[in-house]
Structures are given as C-alpha cells and as structure tokens.
C-alpha cells in the first residue's frame, strides 16, 4: 500500500519537523528558509510552498498558507497529519490604534473570530487564544531587539480584506489593536487539536491614521517598502529564535 500523501501540500510523514512557521506569502516562506542554517524545498503546489531545514540544530519547517482562514485551515490540517506540533504564524497586519508605528511588531495573545471557517469547527463563543508559552517566548524574543517597537494585545482576524473602516474601528473601540486574516484559524484549530500555536506580525499600515495597506497600495511595483521588508526579515529571525528556545524548554 502506498504511503499517504496529503492532497494539497503534497506531504508525507517524515517531510517536516514538529515546528512549523506559517507565513501567508510563498515568497516569505522562501525568505525564511534562506535565513535558516540549511533548508530544502519539499513541495510546491497552489499557494503552498513547504521547506524543511535546521535552525540552531532544531528541525524546522516553513509552509505558506495563502490568504485567509480557509487556506490556512487546509495547511494546518495537512501539516498536522504529517507530524507538526507547534505552529507559529509569521505575518503582517494593519494597526487599529493610533500611534502604533509602521513597521512595529505585534505579538497577539488572542484573536476575534471574524473568520468563517472556524465556525464550521466550533461555536462562535469558543475563544481563539495563543498557547501561553508560545506567546510568552515570542514576546520575550521580540523584546530582545531594539530596532522596532513591540506591542501585544488582541487582533481581529477577518475573511474580508476590503472591510469598511467603520467596521474595523468597531473592534478598535473595544480594545483590538490590529486586524489580519489567519490567526483566529491557527489559534482555534491548535486548541481543538491539542497542539500549540502563536503569532508574530509586522504592522504594514495604520488604519485610523489613513496609512492602511488597502489605502496606500503597493510600493513601486512591490507589495512592501524596504522598511517593512526588513521588519519581516526581523520577525522571521525572531520566530526562529523562539523555536530554538521552545525546543529547549518545552
């Protein structure tokens, strides 16, 4: 009998490590893989690019999830099938609080479940929260560097990118500090499946200040300015350092 291969990520057991970093963008997956001590492209299909390698002696995999909760849920489920146990989203977000600068880093401890896919798994009252030890290690590793400011709080995970500002500010007025698209899915599924998850995000715009990504658009034919691209490289390094610590302590 042939060994099972997952239908979308095209993975089998042994292809990945227990620790998986989850950028949305396939190009960001490649960037993270290049930061690692060694890495190898395992599969490339649709929006899913998967690398496995080493960082600080620890086996780490990187898998792009595409945009939004449904594709993130597919990636999560298939990575879980082949042995993943710790999931860290490495992404971007729009700040919902004035004064949070571009490109700050946000480490969320919870997410508002404005996605649709997790409601197919569990009632909407179920909270989407990061695993405490993963959140704490990410926060501590982020605070070790002084290049950008670090914030923590609740983020909103929404399926719709082009949301009316008033709807986003509804959550800002209730304490949410940023909006993005995948953390609620990762947090909820990790809790339901008995594994661990956290998120690190780079702020790519400030919505109440009028610099949100949907408003300002791309940058000279690219998605991001070099300032934001550099912060994304920094958050990738922070996530990898966090994995090294988690492996040694948990």
How confident is the prediction for the chain on average, in pLDDT?
96
Tell me: the pLDDT tens digits for 235-249? 999 999 999 999 988
| Mean pLDDT, residues 30-57 | 97
* Token pair recorded at residue 156: 């909103």
Q: Which of 121, 108, 242 minimizes the C-alpha distance to 193?
A: 121
185 pLDDT higher than 70? yes
Q: How many angstroms separate the first and last alpha carbons of the chain?
A: 36
- CA torsion angle for 76, 78, 84, 88 (degrees, to 10)? -20
Which are the catalytic amino acids? 28, 46, 89, 204
User: What is the per-residue pLDDT across 192-220, written as a single tens digit (0 to 9) for each?
Assistant: 999 999 999 999 999 999 999 999 999 88
Instruction: Tell whether the model's pLDDT for residue 1 goes beyond 80.
Output: no
β-sheet bridge partners, residue 111:
128, 155
Question: Tell me: the pLDDT tens digits for 127-183?
Answer: 999 999 999 999 999 999 878 999 999 999 999 999 999 999 999 999 999 999 999
Closest CA to 55 of 17, 27, 11: 17
Q: What is the pTM of this model?
A: 0.97
3-state secondary structure 81-126: HCCCCEEEEEEEEEECCCCCCCCCEEEEEEEEEECCHHHHCCCCCC
């Amino acid at each position: 009998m042939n060994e099972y291969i997952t239908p979308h990520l095209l993975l089998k057991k042994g292809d990945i490590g227990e620790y998986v970093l989850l950028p949305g963008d396939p190009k960001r997956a490649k960037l993270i893989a290049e930061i690692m001590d060694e890495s190898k492209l395992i599969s490339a299909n649709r929006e899913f690019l998967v690398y496995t390698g080493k960082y600080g002696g620890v086996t780490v995999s990187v898998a792009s999830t595409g945009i939004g909760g449904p594709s993130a849920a597919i990636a999560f489920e298939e990575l879980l099938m082949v042995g993943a146990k710790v999931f860290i989203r490495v992404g971007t977000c729009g700040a919902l609080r004035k004064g949070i600068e571009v490109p700050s880093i946000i480490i969320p401890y919870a997410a508002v479940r404005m996605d649709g896919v997790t409601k197919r798994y569990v009632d909407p009252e179920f909270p989407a929260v990061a695993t405490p030890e993963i959140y704490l290690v990410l926060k501590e590793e982020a605070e070790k560097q002084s290049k950008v400011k670090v914030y923590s709080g609740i983020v909103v995970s929404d399926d719709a990118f082009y949301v009316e500002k008033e709807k986003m500010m509804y959550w800002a007025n209730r304490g949410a500090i940023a909006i993005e698209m995948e953390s609620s899915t990762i947090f909820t599924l990790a809790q339901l499946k008995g594994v661990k998850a956290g998120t690190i995000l780079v702020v790519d715009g400030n919505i109440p200040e009028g610099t949100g990504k949907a408003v300002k658009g791309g940058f000279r034919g690219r998605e991001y300015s070099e300032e934001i691209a550099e912060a994304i490289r920094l958050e990738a390094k922070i996530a990898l350092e966090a994995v090294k610590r988690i492996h040694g302590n948990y």
